[in-house]
């Protein structure tokens, strides 16, 4: 079951509403004393139904979690759909965009809202396990970059994450420098991947991914990294990775 309700992010988009999605696991209403770990995700509109997804194809996350009886809560918010709002909110650094324009990175503001306002709200409404060990974060593309940023800068809140096809090219290396400069909490877990067909999208992306993984390993992150054979930059490809990153994050099905 997926609850839907409206939220605002005043520091980013004023009183403009966007949809928040909260997946509740099978049996949630019947086990009133049970509490659940929470996976926070980016691009909530792309996760659950094709009708809500930007390009008409979602991750099929609700179907997967129901079928496998995976006992977690997933909380995710629709991205900013105005102009380049998504790029701005999902980047921790400023960067050049098509045609030479500059995108102002507002990722820190977004993460501050998620950690200080959205997460406490989810913990107040739903039966969560709010501690760091039971709090994870995940996303793809720009959301994958933000997942890496969250583990680097908000490690007191998130103990693990999944960064699918992270946009490491953002900011001509400035985004990667955040990872290089970070002091990760002991036991931090990260799953990250790239589709083999994606490396042609940005020059030097394969080397950048390899160097980033090496840096994470040197910093003690418990890293699982993969090249997905035939993988591309789209929801259909990311959907196929769900069982793998769920296992890495410790969210095993009940049966």
When pLDDT is averaged across residues 30-47 and rounded to a whole number, the result is 95
Residue 252 pLDDT grade (very low, low, confident, very high; cuts 50, 70, 90)? confident
Q: Which residues contact 47 (CB under 8 A, 6 or more apart)?
A: 21, 23, 41, 58, 59, 61, 62, 74, 76
Residues whose CB falls within 8 Å of the CB of residue 1, separated by 6 or more in sequence, listed in order: 23, 24, 28
Q: What per-residue confidence (pLDDT) applies to 195?
A: 96
Backbone angles phi, psi at 19, to 5 degrees: -90, 135
Position 172 scores a pLDDT of 75
Average pLDDT of span 21-30: 95
105-150 pLDDT per residue, tens: 999 999 999 999 999 999 999 999 999 999 999 999 999 999 999 9
Tell me: the pLDDT tens digits for 159-187? 999 999 999 988 877 888 999 999 999 99
| pTM summary value | 0.96
Tokens of 189: 């877990």
Tokens, residue 187: 């036991």
pLDDT at 219: 96
Question: pLDDT band at residue 101, thresholds of 50, 70 and 90?
Answer: confident
Residues above pLDDT 70, as percent of the chain = 98
Is the pLDDT at 255 greater than 70? The verdict is no
Q: Please check whether residue 7 is in contact with residue 100, taking contact to mean a CB–CB distance below 8 angstroms.
A: no
Res 254: pLDDT: 64
More confident residue, 32 or 220: 220
Adjacent-strand bridge partners of 164? 140, 193
φ/ψ of 107, rounded to 5, equals: -60, -35
The pLDDT of residue 100 is above 70: no
Contact present, 158 and 190 (Cβ < 8 Å): no
Q: Encoding tokens for residue 89?
A: 């909110």
For residue 250, the SS3 value is coil
């Amino acid at each position: 079951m997926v609850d839907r309700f409206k939220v605002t992010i005043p520091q980013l988009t004023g009183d403009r509403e966007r949809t928040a999605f909260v997946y509740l696991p099978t049996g949630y209403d019947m086990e009133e004393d049970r509490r659940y770990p929470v996976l926070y995700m980016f691009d909530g509109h792309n996760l659950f139904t094709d009708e809500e997804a930007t390009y008409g194809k979602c991750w099929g996350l609700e179907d997967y979690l129901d079928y496998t009886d995976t006992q977690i809560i997933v909380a995710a918010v629709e991205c900013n759909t105005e102009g380049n709002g998504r790029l701005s909110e999902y980047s921790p650094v400023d960067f050049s965009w098509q045609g030479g324009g500059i995108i102002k990175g507002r990722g820190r503001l977004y993460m501050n809202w998620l950690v200080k306002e959205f997460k406490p709200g989810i913990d107040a409404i739903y039966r969560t396990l709010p501690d760091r060990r039971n709090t994870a974060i995940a996303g793809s593309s720009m959301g994958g970059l933000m997942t890496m940023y969250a583990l680097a800068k908000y490690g007191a809140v998130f103990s693990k994450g999944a960064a699918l096809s992270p946009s490491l090219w953002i900011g001509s290396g400035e985004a990667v420098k955040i990872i290089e400069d970070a002091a990760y909490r002991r036991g931090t877990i990260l799953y990250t991947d790239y589709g083999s067909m994606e490396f042609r999208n940005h020059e030097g992306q394969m080397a950048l991914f390899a160097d980033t993984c090496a840096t994470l390993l040197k910093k003690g992150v418990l890293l699982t990294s993969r090249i997905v054979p035939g993988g591309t930059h789209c929801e259909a490809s990311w959907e196929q990775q769900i069982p793998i990153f769920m296992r890495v994050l410790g969210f095993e099905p009940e049966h």
